[in-house]
C-alpha cells in the first residue's frame, strides 16, 4: 500500500496540534511590557511544546523517507502514535497551569512522552515487518537502532524522578530530546547519497 | 477525474475533526491525581471517539486504494459522508455531557453512526458506478460485500435499544465497529499482492 | 508554475473553514429531545453553510481539473478568493444569531456571496490569461461561460431584496446556488472523456 | 531528501494560522449596521493579517519552486520560520486590542516581523547550502539578492520608530511588505520560462 496518504494525514494532524497550542497564547491584559513579561511562563511552555512536537514530526518524516510501502498494521500503529501525540497539548497545559512543581502533572507529562516514544518504536517495528526486504529499513532502523530504548529508559526514570523533585521530569525529558534532535543522521546521510 | 485532491480534502477534514475533539480536554482543575481521575469519563469518550473516527478514516483510505478515477457524483457522495462525519463530535459531546444514560443523546449518537454507515455504502455504490469496469472494485466491494448492510441493521437496532437501556446504543455501536476495525482485509491483501 | 501546492493550500483552508463551523454546534443544554429541537435553527444554518462551501469547493476543484499551469497573478486571485470565503462563516454567524429577518446581516451575507462569485470569475479570467493556449480552458470557461455573470446579477438583486423582506436574500442566494451545484458538467464530461 | 512533505506541512500550518484568525471575528452584538461598523478595526486588522501571511506564504511558495532537494538543516530552519509565523496572530491580537498607539505591542509586532524576515533569509541560506549546485538557486537567491536585508533594516528601524509614535511600526512594516508583494518576479519569470 503506498505511504503518501498516511503521511499527509499525519502531517495534517501534527500541523493542527502544533497550531492549536498557539490559541492558548492570549493577548496580554494591558498594553504594557510588564503585561507581556507576566506571560513569560506560558511563552516558554509554548516554545518548548512547539519544539518537542517538531522533533517528533522531524523523526517521523525522516523515518518515512526510507519506507517504500506500508500495510494495515502500520496504519494502526501510526494512528495510535498520533493518538498519543494528540495528548501532548493536554499534558503540557496541565504542567503549564502553574503546576511545574506538582507531582501529578509532571508524572502525566512523563507518561505521555514515554507513550509517544514507545509507540514510535512500535511503528518502526511494524515498518520492518511490512517491508522486511527493504535493505534501507533493515540497515538504518534494524539491529543496532538503540536510540528508542535509551530514550524510553530515560523517560521511565524521569517519571519517577518527579517524586523527588517534580520539575526533574520536564528537565530530563527535554534533555532526552537532544537524542532525537539530529533526527537519524544515518537516515539523512543515506537518503542524500542515494538520491 | 483523478482522486487525489478529493482524498486530500477528506484527509484534512478528518484530521481537523479528530483534533478538534482534543480541544475539549481541558487541564484538570488542580494539580492532584484526583483532579485527573475526575476527568476519566471525558477521557474515555475522547479515546473512543478518536478510535471510531480512525476506523472510518482507515476504511475510507482502504476503499480508495482500489479506486482509479472518480466523477462528480462520487464527489458529492463523499461530501455528504464528510458532513455526517462532522456531526460525530457533536453527538459524542452530547452523550459525554453526563448523558450516557439519557435516551435522546444516545438515539442521536446511534442515528449519526447509522448515517455515517449508510453514506459510506452510498459512496461505495457511486464508486462502482463511476469506475464500473475496474475489476478490483467489482471484486472487492461489489457483490458479496455485505458488511455495510450488517453494520446498518445493527446500528438501526442499537438506536431503539436506547429505549430499553440507553447505554446499549453506545455499547452495540462500539461492538459493531469491530466489523470495520480490520478494514477490508480483502482489499489490503489484494493491494499488497498487486503492487 | 505547477498548480499542486496552491490546490493543497486552498483545500486545507476550505477544510478548516468548513470544520470550524461545527465548533459552533454546542451540545444541547439538557439530555432531552426538546433541547435538541431548540437547536434546529443553528443546525439548519450549519447544514446550509456546509453545503454552500462544498459547492464552492467543488467548483474550484472542477475548474482546476483543466488548469495546466498557473502564475503569480493566479496565486493572488486565489488568495483573495480564499479571503472572501473566510468571511463566509462570519456572515453566516451573524444571520444565524436570530437575525434572519434583520436587514443588515442579510445584506452582509448577500455581499459576501457576491464577492465570492465575483472573485471566482476573476480567478477564471486570470487562469485564461496564465495559460491562454490551453484549449480546454478557452473552450470550457472562455466565451459563452455566462454562469458567473448570471449568478452575480442574481446576488446583486438579492442584496437589495433584503430591503423588502430580509429573508429573501438568503432564499434567493440559496436558489442561485443550484446554478453551481452541478459544477461545470461541461468540464466533467470533458475531463472524463479526455482521461 | 525530497521537499514535498515539508512543503505540505508548511502549507497546512499557514492555512491553520490564517484561518484561526477568522475565529476572532465574532458576530456583531446586534442586527444593526452600526454594530457591524463598530467592528471595523477588528476587521481591518483581520484583513491586514490575512494579507501579510499570504505574502509570506507566496514567497515561501515561490522560493521552493526552484528548490530541488532539502536536508535536515533546511527542515529545522523551516521549522523555526514556522514558529515565528505562528507568533504573528498573537502579536497582531495584542496590537488589535485597542493598542495601536501603545509602545509595547507595536514593538512586539515589529520584532515578530523582523524575526520572520530574518528566518526567511536563514532558510534561503540553508537552501543554498543544501543544494549548492542548483544553478537556479545560486542565480535567483544567491549574490545580489538584497531584498531580505533591506526589509530587515526597515523592520529594525520600524521597531524603534514606535518610541516616537507607536503606529509608525505597523505603518512602516506594512509599507515594507510591498517589497515582497510581487514575490520574486525573477523566480516567477524563470520558472515560467523553464517549464
- What residues 82-111 of chain B have any CB closer than 8 A to a CB of chain C? 83, 86-87, 89-90, 93-94, 96-99, 102-105, 108
Neighbours of chain D (3+ CB pairs under 8 A): A, C
User: How far A13 CA sits from the closest chain B CA (Å)?
Assistant: 5
In angstroms, rounded to a whole number, what is the distance separating the alpha carbons of residues B14 and B84?
Answer: 11
Count of residues making up chain B: 195
Kindly list the domain boundaries of chain D, sorted by start residue: 4-194
Neighbours of chain B (3+ CB pairs under 8 A): A, C
Q: Could you read off the pLDDT of D75-127 as tens digits, one per residue?
A: 999 999 999 999 998 998 888 877 878 899 999 999 999 999 999 999 999 99
pLDDT tens digits, chain A, 195 residues: what are they? 788 889 989 999 999 998 888 877 888 888 899 999 988 888 888 888 899 999 999 999 888 888 888 888 899 999 999 999 999 989 988 888 778 788 999 999 999 999 999 999 999 999 988 887 787 887 777 777 888 899 999 999 999 999 999 999 988 998 888 888 765 666 666 666 654
Q: Could you read off the pLDDT of C183-192 as tens digits, one per residue?
A: 566 666 666 6
* φ, ψ dihedrals at D119, nearest 5°: -70, -30
Indicate yes or no: CB of D57 within 8 angstroms of CB of C105: no
C-alpha cell at position A192 = 542524500
Is residue B185's pLDDT more than 70? no
Indicate yes or no: CB of D90 within 8 angstroms of CB of A22: yes
Query: What ipTM, to 2 d.p.?
Result: 0.87
Contacts with B7 from chain A: Cβ below 8 Å: 5
Indicate yes or no: CB of A22 within 8 angstroms of CB of D86: yes
Cβ proximity of A64 and A3 under 8 Å: yes
CB atoms within 10 A of CB C24: 16
Which residue is listed with cell 483523478?
Answer: B2
In angstroms, rounded to a whole number, what is the distance separating the alpha carbons of residues A123 and A117?
Answer: 10
Indicate yes or no: CB of D93 within 8 angstroms of CB of A26: yes
Indicate yes or no: CB of A12 within 8 angstroms of CB of D12: yes
C-alpha cell at position A74 = 502500520
Using CB atoms, which residue from C19, C33, C36 is nearest to B13? Answer: C19
pLDDT top residue among D149 and D181: D149
Is residue B132's pLDDT more than 80? no
Q: How many CA atoms lie within 13 A of A92 on its CB side?
A: 30
User: How far B178 CA sits from the closest chain C CA (Å)?
Assistant: 27
Q: Does A35 touch chain B (CB under 8 A)?
A: no
Contacts of B133 (CB under 8 A, 6+ apart): none
Confidence of residue C115 (pLDDT cuts 50, 70, 90): very high
Contacts with D8 from chain A: Cβ below 8 Å: 8, 11
CA-nearest residue of chain D to A49?
D83
Q: What angle do CA B93, B113, C54 make, to 5 degrees?
A: 85
Which residue is listed with cell 446500528?
Answer: B155
Q: Which of C2, C10, C16, C111 to mutate to test the interface with D (most CBs of D within 10 A)?
A: C16
User: How far D128 CA sits from the closest chain A CA (Å)?
Assistant: 15
Q: Could you read off the pLDDT of B13-28 as tens digits, one per residue?
A: 999 998 888 877 888 8
CA-nearest residue of chain C to B6?
C61
Q: Could you read off the pLDDT of D47-84 as tens digits, one per residue?
A: 888 999 999 999 998 888 888 888 888 999 999 999 99
Amino acid at each position: 500500500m503506498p505511504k503518501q496518504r498516511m503521511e499527509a494525514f499525519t502531517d495534517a494532524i501534527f500541523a493542527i496540534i502544533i497550531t492549536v497550542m498557539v490559541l492558548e497564547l492570549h493577548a496580554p491584559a494591558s498594553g504594557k511590557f510588564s503585561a507581556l513579561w507576566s506571560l513569560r511562563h506560558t511563552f516558554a511552555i509554548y516554545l518548548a511544546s512547539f519544539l518537542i512536537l517538531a522533533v517528533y514530526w522531524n523523526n517521523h518524516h525522516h523515518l518515512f523517507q526510507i519506507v517504500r510501502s506500508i500495510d494495515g498494521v502500520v496504519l494502526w500503529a501510526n494512528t495510535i502514535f498520533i493518538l498519543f501525540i494528540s495528548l501532548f497539548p493536554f499534558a503540557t497545559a496541565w504542567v503549564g497551569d502553574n503546576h511545574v512543581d506538582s507531582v501529578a502533572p509532571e508524572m502525566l507529562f512523563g507518561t505521555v512522552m514515554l507513550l509517544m516514544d514507545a509507540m514510535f518504536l512500535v511503528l518502526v517495528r511494524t515498518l520492518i515487518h511490512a517491508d522486511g526486504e527493504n535493505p534501507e529499513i533493515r540497515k538504518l532502523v534494524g539491529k543496532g537502532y538503540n536510540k528508542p530504548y535509551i530514550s524510553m529508559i530515560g523517560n521511565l526514570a524521569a517519571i519517577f524522578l518527579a517524586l523527588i523533585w517534580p520539575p526533574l521530569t520536564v528537565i530530563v525529558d527535554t534533555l532526552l530530546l537532544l537524542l532525537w534532535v539530529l533526527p537519524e543522521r544515518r537516515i539523512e546521510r543515506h537518503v542524500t547519497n542515494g538520491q
